[in-house]
């Protein structure tokens, strides 16, 4: 059985495998992954900090060339990487390739670092005085990433962090860790110096040590809300800069004037893609007015056409969930539904002795205060909530503790504009069910979906991974020498 290594200082580092890595499509242990010892964490931090001294001084053109080379290699190796992701995560090959493509977008954005890192200059702000600013790297970034996007989220973090002159220790999910090591190897092939990007395998104890380590300057995290809150609290207590993105309960509002076929297609695509294991998945369809029965019927018809199977089977629309434990949790919402909830489609029949499969589930008459509505299920379970009008839909969303993403389906431009302005959510789609911003904007939610003040990638990512210096300069003539203890003035 294979053992997945660490990737430290430009080379794979083997150690005894301790945690099982499953193939979710078979339910069998496919590999083992080690847990970094405390000594190895300390050693990796020291190596990375040593590499920072030269990497922070590298030219912007050198960094750009490496990122361009990485982009080329990722495109070239897409098929290989997609197979590796599917083997450990379970998502379809097509979905894995889509994940790689979205990660590539941020690499391409980071390639424009000569523009992103430009400072400002003001001449003659006072007599003979000029002011300019520039941005510098923070140092060592700990990137802690989730299982559901094992290469996209690392690329969101690492490409920006490396572009701004930081060194990185990536701690990937122990559920699907192989592709992170492959990313390290591709970065080395692209020309990245040894020690600038490292991968430490491990568990919660590994994360805690990184959060508390005095050699770590910043922490980027994506995961569930309870863990995001914990990461933020611990890391900030240890005086680190932190961005911690948490969970979601994303609503898709369908107004009476919407094209119901388009809305039903969108609900299927956004609700069941990647088995619902996306933080931007639509989990609640909000039917406004008297369209609910017809909308539910159209969604149900589409559910019946979905094929669930192994991710490497081209006939599969989506694959298994990540673990047997998670499979049982997801099914509990369907096999023991909340009072009043109507199970329109029951995917529990997909449960088999092998593989962590859950079929597409559709639940109607789901209301706030129930377990189904309040929990982030993170599986192929789509709920329908019925409200009387537009105002009730907005109030429903704003009352939810999460504020990651939401969408509205309508032909009414004014309704869409009001919705965009009134909902307390970070990312909004108008007839777009999964409104993940392009790389020149930034990704992240509000409320309990984000801890810290910075969103991921884009302009906010550049700002998070760097800090500004402002230099005020004057070159006085010798004849101007004088003593003045007054406060500096600009006029």
Strand partners, 170: 143, 199
Check residue 428 and give its pLDDT.
98
> What pLDDT band is residue 491 in, cutting at 50, 70 and 90?
low
Residue 439 belongs to some domain of the structure? no
Kindly report the backbone phi and psi dihedral angles of residue 340, in degrees, each rounded to the nearest multiple of 5, phi listed first: 90, -20
pLDDT digits (tens, 9 = 90+) for 362-418: 999 999 999 999 999 999 999 999 999 999 999 999 999 999 999 999 999 999 999
Residue 485 belongs to some domain of the structure? no
Q: Helices 178-189 and 152-163 meet at what angle, rounded to 10?
A: 40
CATH of the domain at 315: 3.40.309.10
* Residue 242 token pair: 């932190």
Same domain, 281 and 426: yes
Burial class (CB in 10 A: 0-12, 13-18, 19+), 300: middle
- Of 399, 430, 461, the one marking the end of a domain is 430
> What pLDDT band is residue 483 in, cutting at 50, 70 and 90?
confident
Going by C-alpha positions, the residue among 263, 200, 291 that lies closest to residue 429 is 263
Same domain, 353 and 261: yes
How do strand 282-288 and strand 381-387 relate by DSSP bridges?
parallel
Kindly report the backbone phi and psi dihedral angles of residue 388, in degrees, each rounded to the nearest multiple of 5, phi listed first: -80, -35
Same domain, 268 and 374: yes
Distance between CA 211 and CA 407 in Å, rounded? 35
* Residue 339 token pair: 């009072």
Same domain, 279 and 412: yes
Residue 443 belongs to some domain of the structure? no
Check residue 422 and give its pLDDT.
98
Task: Check: CB of residue 5 under 8 Å from CB of residue 15.
Answer: yes
pLDDT digits (tens, 9 = 90+) for 240-259: 999 999 999 999 999 999 99
Same domain, 200 and 282: no
Whether 479 has a pLDDT exceeding 80, the answer reads no
Going by C-alpha positions, the residue among 440, 415, 441 that lies closest to residue 427 is 441
Residue 330's domain comprises: 250-430
Same domain, 128 and 17: yes
Distance between CA 373 and CA 451 in Å, rounded? 22
CA distances (Å), 219 to each of 50, 180, 226, 234, in order?
Answer: 19, 17, 16, 11
Residue 239 belongs to some domain of the structure? yes
Check residue 350 and give its pLDDT.
72
State the DSSP code for 350.
Answer: G
Same domain, 269 and 349: yes
Whether 57 has a pLDDT exceeding 70, the answer reads yes
Residue 143 belongs to some domain of the structure? yes
Residue 356 belongs to some domain of the structure? yes
Check residue 91 and give its pLDDT.
98
Same domain, 346 and 239: no
Same domain, 223 and 274: no
* Residue 356 token pair: 């962590």
* Residue 174 token pair: 């122990």
Check residue 184 and give its pLDDT.
98
Distance between CA 12 and CA 199 in Å, rounded? 9
CATH of the domain at 142: 3.40.605.10
Residue 276 belongs to some domain of the structure? yes
Measured from the Cβ of residue 293, the count of other Cβ atoms closer than 10 Å reads: 11
Distance between CA 34 and CA 164 in Å, rounded? 30
Same domain, 153 and 183: yes
Whether 454 has a pLDDT exceeding 80, the answer reads yes
Residue 440 belongs to some domain of the structure? no
Domain count, the chain: 2
pLDDT digits (tens, 9 = 90+) for 12-43: 999 877 899 999 999 999 999 999 999 999 99
pTM: 0.95
Q: Which residues are catalytically annotated? A: 279
Same domain, 298 and 386: yes
> What pLDDT band is residue 281 in, cutting at 50, 70 and 90?
very high
Going by C-alpha positions, the residue among 435, 176, 441, 113 that lies closest to residue 322 is 176
Same domain, 230 and 280: no
Whether 481 has a pLDDT exceeding 90, the answer reads no
Check residue 480 and give its pLDDT.
66
């Amino acid at each position: 059985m294979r053992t997945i290594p660490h990737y430290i200082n430009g080379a794979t580092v083997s150690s005894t495998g301790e945690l099982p890595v499953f193939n979710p499509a078979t339910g069998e242990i496919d590999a083992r992954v080690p847990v970094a010892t405390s000594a190895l964490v300390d050693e990796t931090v020291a190596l990375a900090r040593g590499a920072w001294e030269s990497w922070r001084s590298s030219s912007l053109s050198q960094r750009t060339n490496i990122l361009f080379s990485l982009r080329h290699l990722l495109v070239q190796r897409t098929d290989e990487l997609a197979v590796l992701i599917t083997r450990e995560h379970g998502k379809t090959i097509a979905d894995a390739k889509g994940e790689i493509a979205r990660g590539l977008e941020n690499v391409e954005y980071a390639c424009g670092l000569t523009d992103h890192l430009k400072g400002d200059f003001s001449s003659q702000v006072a007599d003979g005085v000029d002011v300019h600013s520039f941005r510098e790297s923070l140092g060592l970034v700990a990137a802690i990433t989730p299982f559901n996007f094992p290469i996209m989220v690392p690329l969101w973090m690492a490409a920006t962090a490396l572009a701004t002159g930081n060194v990185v220790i990536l701690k990937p999910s122990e559920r699907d860790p192989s592709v992170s090591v492959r990313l390290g190897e591709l970065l080395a092939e692209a020309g990245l110096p040894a020690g600038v990007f490292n991968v430490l395998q491990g568990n919660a104890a590994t994360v805690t040590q990184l959060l508390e380590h005095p050699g770590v300057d910043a922490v980027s995290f994506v995961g569930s809300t309870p863990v995001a809150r914990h990461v933020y609290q611990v890391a900030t207590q240890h005086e680190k800069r932190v961005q911690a993105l948490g969970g979601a309960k994303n609503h898709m509002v369908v107004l009476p004037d919407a094209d119901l076929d388009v809305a039903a297609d969108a609900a299927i695509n956004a609700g069941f893609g990647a088995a619902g294991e996306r933080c931007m998945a639509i989990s609640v369809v909000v039917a406004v007015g008297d369209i609910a029965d017809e909308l539910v019927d159209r969604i149900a018809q589409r559910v019946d056409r979905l094929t669930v199977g192994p991710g490497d089977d081209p006939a599969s629309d989506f694959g298994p969930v990540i673990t047997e434990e998670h499979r049982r949790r997801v099914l509990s919402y369907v096999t023991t539904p909340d009072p009043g909830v109507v199970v329109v489609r029951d995917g529990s029949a997909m449960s088999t002795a092998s593989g962590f499969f859950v079929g597409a589930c559709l639940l109607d008459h789901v209301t706030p205060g129930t377990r189904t509505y309040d929990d982030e299920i993170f599986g192929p379970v789509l709920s329908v909530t019925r409200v009387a009008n537009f105002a009730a839909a907005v109030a429903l969303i704003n009352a939810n503790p999460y504020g990651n993403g939401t969408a509205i389906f309508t032909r009414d431009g004014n309704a869409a504009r009001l919705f965009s302005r009134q909902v307390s959510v970070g990312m909004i789609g108008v007839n777009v069910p999964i409104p993940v911003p392009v790389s020149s904007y930034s990704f992240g939610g509000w409320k309990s979906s984000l801890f810290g003040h910075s969103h991921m990638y884009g302009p906010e990512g550049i700002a998070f991974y760097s800090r500004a210096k402002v230099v005020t300069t004057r070159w006085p003539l010798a004849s101007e020498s004088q003593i003045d203890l007054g406060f500096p003035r600009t006029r």
